[in-house]
């Protein structure tokens, strides 16, 4: 299996390759069809619209009070004994985590699933500092063994099928080649248990950080999140600044929405609420707990009333599962940490539109992503907004705004606008276009790669109608 | 200026001005109005749907049932607390049996490898359960620490039927969680599982492979 580096700049080539790869097409089709059905069925007993409304309101309320809630979170975490850190970008967050590790003389880190740590390339940073970072979520472990990155935010190894996973485990860990999923799962359990015991530091993400109580909530099925945050002597949690919620009761509806939207489960096996390091007299749990709050472009998104909705996201991945583009090309094609519709509205802020200019266009604007979003993010509207930003017609407040602006295209549309608002010129122009139709170019840039070039009619509709009326009158 | 101050200043001096906070109506996650029997039925239906085992017993014969579970599952080493009435009753009843009782009320550093490699099952009390999702809720203690319900391959949880409530929201509100959170609060809904290998469900990936809930009536 070849290991490839994917970039957002190469979106078109990667999409072309993925579309021509029956393995990828098959793996995603099967997985996403199943996830769509499961999600639909699991909400049967619910007043879904009311629940979504509540989820959206909770997230909007948290964002409305964001700076105050972050301060409240900090104060309550500190009162609970959790050490707080703030990072403006991914590099700073990596340095903070490395320094905590080095202060403990740590040589090995075991990681729970965390998309923010992917976003800041934490593993590579730690390894450069001589600290081994091992993923403990089974899917993440498999993609790490395969020297890949996740292709989905909830199911990191969804692009691999059983045979491929069997090969990876056989090649990298010496297990037998098999299609027996229980055997492979048991092998991974055995391999990772030893590492949980020997790790110096556990790193995890955070699903919800509760300002009211200074609580870090973790949603998971495997128990690796609990192991990571309980067994090693130090636990470092890392999260984006937008993950804060105001009250503990706010997590109840969000948790209900998250598990059902993500994988069609009514609940996950574990919901872990962490409040403090091991207290005096307690028998297990880490001696130190740290929380690293990462900005990395989020405070820029926060400035704009429209773009702000991006920050409501609770990272369920439902938009990906239902996106006709994602389900055909897969997550790696996007070349970014967050793929699919949410990635297409989030990554331009993190990497700038220069690098990600094709992502907002990687959508049919069918609206499925917006319809399934549990917190009602108007994703299609945001995709259109970013398309406008890319061609220099938005507010210009997104990094790299205007990068796709093409002088010829602008001139062509301006001429069109002028013609369409001057009836004489329009009639003359369409008459000439009809007469000269043989001279029209056969292709119109990439637009005609998959479309037939339109041909102006010999006689315009106006002329036809005029003739029709004359004939009727005579 | 520190990163903290820079981030907070940017958030406070927002270009598009202050935001209005909408109100939240939580009615959709509460007020189920289920009877005791409905709660029990729902709890059992959901937790068994994710591979949890439910065994019903009476308050006065639950230890007999536990002995049968221990024997049926060939449990030879059972880790448990000492002070909680559940653990204390088990110790009284099973002290004379061949079952080796392993103390969980000691610092994990002294018995980490034993816990990971030799203990067959961990037994814990639970504070209650949630009917809507088939979840147990636990606040691990010095007596019954966090790893007791996580590391051994079998987790036996002892639940009183009267302590099942409707929803997570109800539990958080009724028990005043926000005023007194412990070091770690947990919901457990079934044994550890994964579907990371081509969406095929497998149990016991990192945590327990089996979850047995003894429901005492």
Query: Which residues 375-414 on chain A approach chain B with CB closer than 8 angstroms?
Result: 397
What domains, with CATH codes, occur in chain A? Answer: 46-296 (3.40.50.10420), 407-473 (no CATH)
DSSP annotation of B192 reads -
Q: What is the pLDDT of residues A403-432, one digit of tens each?
A: 999 998 899 899 999 999 999 998 888 888
Chain B neighbors of A92, CB-CB under 8 A: 3
- Rounded to an integer, the average pLDDT of B57-82 is 96
Chain B neighbors of A139, CB-CB under 8 A: 194, 196
pLDDT tops 90 at residue A455: no
d(CA B82, CA B102): 10
Picking from B11, B172, B198, the nearest residue to A249 by CB comes out as B172
Q: What is the pLDDT of residues B14-47, one digit of tens each?
A: 999 999 999 999 999 999 999 999 999 999 999 9
SS3 per residue for chain A: CCCCCCCHHHHHHHHHHHHCCHHHHHHHHHHHHHHHHHHHHHCCCCCHHHHHHHHHHHHHHHHHCHHHHHHHHHHHHHHHCEEEEEECCHHHHHHHHHHHHHHCCCCEEEECCCHHHHHCCHHHHHHHCCCEEEECCHHHHHHHHCCCCCCCCCCCCCCCCHHHHHHHHHHHHCCCCCCCHHHHHHHHHHHHHHHHHHCCEEEECCCEEECCCCEEEEEECCCHHHHHHHCCCEEEEEEEHHHEECCHHHHHHHHHHHHHHHHCCCCCCEEEEECCCCCCCCCCCCCEEEEEEECCCHHHHCCCCCHHHHHHCCCCCHHHHCCCCHHHHCCHHHCCCCCHHHHHHHHHHHHCHHHHCCHHHCCCCCCHHHHHCCCCCCHHHHHHHHHHHHCCCCCCCCCCCCCCCCHHHHHHHHHHHHHHCCHHHHHHHHHHHHHCHHHCCCCECEHHHCCCCCCCCCCCHHHHHHHHHHHHHC
Picking from A182, A285, A293, the nearest residue to B146 by CB comes out as A285
pLDDT at B68: 96
**Cα distance from A394 to chain B (closest Cα, Å)?**
15
Q: What is the pLDDT of residues A246-262, one digit of tens each?
A: 999 999 999 999 999 99
Half-sphere exposure of A144 (CA within 13 A, CB side): 21
The neighbour count for residue A460, using CB atoms within 10 Å, is 17
pLDDT tops 70 at residue A310: yes
- Rounded to an integer, the average pLDDT of A315-323 is 97
Burial class (CB in 10 A: 0-12, 13-18, 19+), A268: buried
Interacting residues of B140 by C-beta distance below 8 A, sequence separation 6+? B124, B146, B148, B149, B182, B183, B184, B186
pLDDT tops 60 at residue A237: yes
pLDDT tops 70 at residue A135: yes
Chain B neighbors of A36, CB-CB under 8 A: none
- Rounded to an integer, the average pLDDT of A189-214 is 97
Picking from A50, A197, A222, the nearest residue to B194 by CB comes out as A222
User: What residues does A444 pair with on adjacent strands?
Assistant: A446
Average pLDDT along chain B: 97
pLDDT tops 50 at residue A299: yes
pLDDT at A1: 42
pLDDT tops 90 at residue A92: yes
* CA end-to-end distance (rounded Å), chain A: 76
- Rounded to an integer, the average pLDDT of B66-93 is 97
pLDDT tops 70 at residue A2: no
- The answer, for A220 touching chain B at a CB cutoff of 8 Å, is no
pLDDT at A3: 55
Say if the Cβ atoms of B189 and A268 lie within 8 Å: yes
**Cα distance from B161 to chain A (closest Cα, Å)?**
21
pLDDT at A427: 86
Mutate to test the interface with A, among B2, B6, B7 (most CBs of A within 10 A): B7
Percent of the residues in chain A that have a pLDDT greater than 90, as a whole number: 88
- Rounded to an integer, the average pLDDT of A115-123 is 96
Say if the Cβ atoms of A284 and B26 lie within 8 Å: no
pLDDT at A451: 87
Consecutive H or E run containing B92: helix B85-94
Mutate to test the interface with B, among A223, A224, A276, A298 (most CBs of B within 10 A): A223
pLDDT at A309: 98
User: Could you tell me which residue, A437 or A472, shows the higher pLDDT?
Assistant: A472
What domains, with CATH codes, occur in chain B? Answer: 42-194+201-216 (3.40.50.10420)
**Cα distance from B38 to chain A (closest Cα, Å)?**
15
Tell me chain A's radius of gyration from C-alpha atoms: 26
CA A199 to chain centre: 29
Percent of the residues in chain B that have a pLDDT greater than 70, as a whole number: 100
- The answer, for A217 touching chain B at a CB cutoff of 8 Å, is no
Task: Note the ipTM here.
Answer: 0.97
CB B32 within 8 A of CB B167: yes
User: What residues does B212 pair with on adjacent strands?
Assistant: B53, B156
pLDDT at B179: 96
Picking from B29, B107, B116, the nearest residue to A252 by CB comes out as B29
pLDDT tops 80 at residue B170: yes
Q: Which of A260, A266, A236 minimizes the C-alpha distance to A94?
A: A236
Picking from A61, A161, A221, the nearest residue to B194 by CB comes out as A221
CB A315 within 8 A of CB A261: no
Q: What is the pLDDT of residues A321-359, one digit of tens each?
A: 999 999 999 999 999 999 999 999 999 999 999 999 999
Residues A93-99: contacts with CB under 8 Å, at least 24 apart: A93/A120, A93/A122, A93/A238, A93/A292, A93/A294, A93/A296, A94/A120, A94/A121, A94/A122, A94/A125, A94/A126, A95/A125, A96/A292, A97/A122, A97/A125, A97/A126, A97/A203, A97/A236, A97/A238, A97/A292, A98/A125, A98/A126, A98/A129, A98/A131
Average pLDDT along chain A: 95
Q: What is the pLDDT of residues B80-109, one digit of tens each?
A: 999 999 999 999 999 888 899 999 999 999
Percent of the residues in chain A that have a pLDDT greater than 70, as a whole number: 99
- The answer, for B204 touching chain A at a CB cutoff of 8 Å, is yes
- Rounded to an integer, the average pLDDT of A372-394 is 97
pLDDT at A364: 95
Say if the Cβ atoms of A70 and B108 lie within 8 Å: no
Say if the Cβ atoms of B19 and A215 lie within 8 Å: no
Say if the Cβ atoms of B205 and A223 lie within 8 Å: yes
- Rounded to an integer, the average pLDDT of A440-448 is 81
A294 φ, ψ (degrees, to nearest 5)? -110, 130
């Amino acid at each position: 299996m070849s290991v490839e580096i994917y970039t957002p700049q190469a979106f078109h080539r990667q999409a072309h390759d993925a579309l021509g790869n029956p393995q990828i097409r098959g793996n995603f089709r099967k997985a996403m069809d199943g996830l769509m059905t499961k999600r639909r069925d699991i909400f049967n007993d619910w007043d879904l619209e009311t629940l979504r409304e509540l989820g959206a309101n909770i997230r909007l309320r948290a964002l409305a009070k964001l700076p105050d809630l972050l301060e409240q979170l900090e104060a309550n975490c500190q009162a609970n004994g959790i050490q707080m850190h703030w990072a403006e970008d991914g590099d700073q967050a990596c340095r903070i985590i490395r320094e905590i590790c080095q202060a403990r003389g740590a040589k090995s880190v075991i990681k729970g699933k965390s998309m923010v740590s992917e976003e800041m390339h934490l593993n590579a940073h730690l390894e450069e500092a001589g600290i081994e970072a091992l993923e403990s979520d089974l899917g993440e472990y498999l993609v790490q063994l395969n020297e890949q990155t996740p292709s989905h935010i909830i199911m990191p190894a969804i692009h691999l099928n059983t045979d491929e996973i069997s090969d990876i485990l056989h090649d990298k860990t010496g297990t037998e080649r098999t299609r027996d999923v229980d055997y492979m799962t048991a092998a991974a359990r055995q391999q990772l248990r030893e590492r949980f015991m020997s790790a110096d530091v556990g790193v995890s993400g955070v699903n919800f950080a509760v300002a009211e109580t200074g609580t870090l909530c973790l949603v998971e099925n495997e128990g690796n999140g609990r192991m990571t945050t309980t067994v090693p002597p130090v636990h470092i949690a890392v999260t984006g600044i937008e993950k804060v919620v105001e009250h503990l009761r706010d997590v109840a509806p969000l948790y209900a929405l998250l598990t059902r939207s993500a994988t069609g489960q009514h609940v996950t096996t574990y919901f872990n609420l962490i409040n403090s390091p091991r207290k005096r007299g307690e028998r297990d749990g880490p001696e130190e707990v740290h929380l690293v709050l990462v900005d990395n472009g989020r405070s820029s998104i926060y400035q704009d009333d429209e773009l702000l909705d991006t920050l409501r996201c609770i990272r369920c991945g439902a938009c990906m599962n239902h996106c006709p583009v994602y389900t055909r090309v897969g997550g790696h094609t996007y070349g970014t940490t967050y793929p699919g519709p949410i990635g297409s509205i989030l990554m331009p802020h993190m990497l700038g539109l220069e690098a990600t200019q094709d992502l907002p266009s990687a959508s049919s604007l069918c609206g499925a992503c917006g319809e399934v979003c549990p917190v009602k993010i108007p994703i299609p509207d945001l995709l259109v907004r970013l398309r406008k930003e890319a061609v220099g017609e938005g507010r210009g407040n997104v990094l790299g705004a205007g990068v796709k602006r093409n002088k010829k295209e602008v001139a062509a549309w301006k001429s069109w606008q002028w013609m369409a608002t001057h009836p004489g010129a329009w009639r003359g122009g369409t008459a000439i276009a009809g007469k000269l139709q043989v001279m029209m170019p056969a292709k119109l840039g990439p637009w005609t790669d998959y479309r037939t070039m339109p041909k102006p009619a010999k006689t315009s509709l106006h002329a036809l109608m005029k003739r029709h009326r004359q004939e009727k009158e005579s | 200026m520190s990163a903290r101050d820079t981030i907070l200043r940017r958030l406070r001096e927002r270009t598009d001005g202050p935001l209005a906070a909408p109100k939240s109506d939580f009615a959709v996650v509460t007020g189920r109005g289920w009877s005791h029997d409905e709660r029990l039925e729902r709890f059992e239906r959901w937790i068994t749907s994710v591979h949890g085992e439910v065994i019903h017993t009476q308050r006065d014969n639950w230890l007999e049932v536990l002995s049968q579970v221990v024997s049926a599952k060939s449990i030879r080493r059972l880790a448990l607390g000492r002070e909680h009435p559940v653990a204390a009753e088990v110790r009284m009843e099973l002290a004379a049996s061949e079952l080796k009782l392993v103390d969980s009320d000691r610092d994990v550093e002294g018995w980490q490898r034993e816990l990971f490699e030799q203990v067959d099952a961990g037994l814990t009390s639970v504070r209650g359960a949630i009917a809507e999702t088939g979840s147990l809720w636990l606040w691990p203690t010095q007596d019954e620490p966090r790893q007791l319900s996580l590391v051994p391959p079998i987790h036996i949880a002892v639940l009183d039927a009267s302590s099942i409530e409707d929803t997570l929201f109800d539990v958080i509100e009724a028990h005043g969680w926000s005023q007194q959170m412990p070091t770690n609060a947990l919901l457990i809904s079934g044994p550890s599982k994964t579907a990371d290998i081509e969406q095929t469900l497998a149990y016991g990936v990192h945590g327990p492979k089996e979850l047995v809930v003894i429901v005492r009536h």
